[in-house]
Every structure is written in C-alpha cells, then in structure tokens.
Amino acid sequence: MLLKKAYYYFYYKMYKLINYTSEKSGGKFLTDFKTTLAIIALELWLVASLLNYYNIFIDSSLDFSKVTYVVIAVVIALFNYLIFTNNVSWKKFNNQFEELPATVNKKGSFIFFGIVLFIICNFIFSIYLLYLENRG
C-alpha cells in the first residue's frame, strides 16, 4: 500500500507541475493525459537505462530489438492507463495530498524533482556509455 501511495504522490506532483505550466502557457486541457504520458516517458527512460546497463556491463552480445522496446512501452502504457486514466482513485489521493502540511509538500517536491532529474541524467549517461562501448 505504501508503494501505491508513493506512486500516486509522484503522479500528484507531476499533475501539479503540468497543470501549473499549462496554465502559464495557455494549454490547460487534458492535464491528466499529459501527466500520464510524462510518467510513461520517465518509466521508459528508466527501463531503457537498465537495459543499456545490462548490455554494457553484463552481456554485450545480447541485442535488444525494437520489438522488445515496443512490448515494454505497451506494458508500461497499459499499466499506467489502468492505474490512472481508467481509475479515478488517484483523485481521492490528490485531495489527501492537497491537505498535507506545506513543509511535507515542499520535501515531497524536492524528492520528486530529484527522482525526475536522476532518471533523465541516468538515461543520458547510459546512452553515453553505450556510445563509448559501441565506438571502441
């Protein structure tokens, strides 16, 4: 249950970020869809990083095909669709998260941005290592 709540909190933080930026840019529509899409992208980058590290450090002879990535993308998209888009229970959690004290939400924001930054930097670094591996 704790993992599910943490996942919903991550969604809540992404939702708030996308809602805020959408308001500023005049594109406030389909916020929950854009949030789910952003989370799917982060999850794909995390999985791709892990596959890259596997390919670099464990078994370089194993070549992941495009089909592998498509299957992983479909599974992640389906999972997120069932958890968020098709299910409205995350909205109840959003109301609970809105009522958290400001200090707790501020700490959560730092953790959220840290995780997002880690995933992005990790993905870029794994591509860089893969590039070095294939170059030499």
CA dihedral over 74, 129, 55, 57, signed as positive or negative: negative
Residues 6+ apart with CB under 8 A from 65: none
pLDDT, tens digit (0-9, with 9 covering 90-100), for 16-66? 999 998 888 777 788 888 999 999 999 999 999 999 999 889 988 877 788
pLDDT, tens digit (0-9, with 9 covering 90-100), for 89-121? 777 888 889 999 999 999 999 999 999 999 999
Residue 9 and residue 21: Cα distance in Å, rounded?
Answer: 18
Q: Residue 32 has which token pair?
A: 């929950």
With residue 15 as reference, give the H or E element that holds it. Answer: helix 2-25
Residue 64 and residue 74: Cα distance in Å, rounded?
Answer: 16
User: Which has the higher per-residue pLDDT, 126 or 4?
Assistant: 126
Q: Is 0.85 topped by the overall pTM?
A: yes
Domain limits, the chain:
2-135
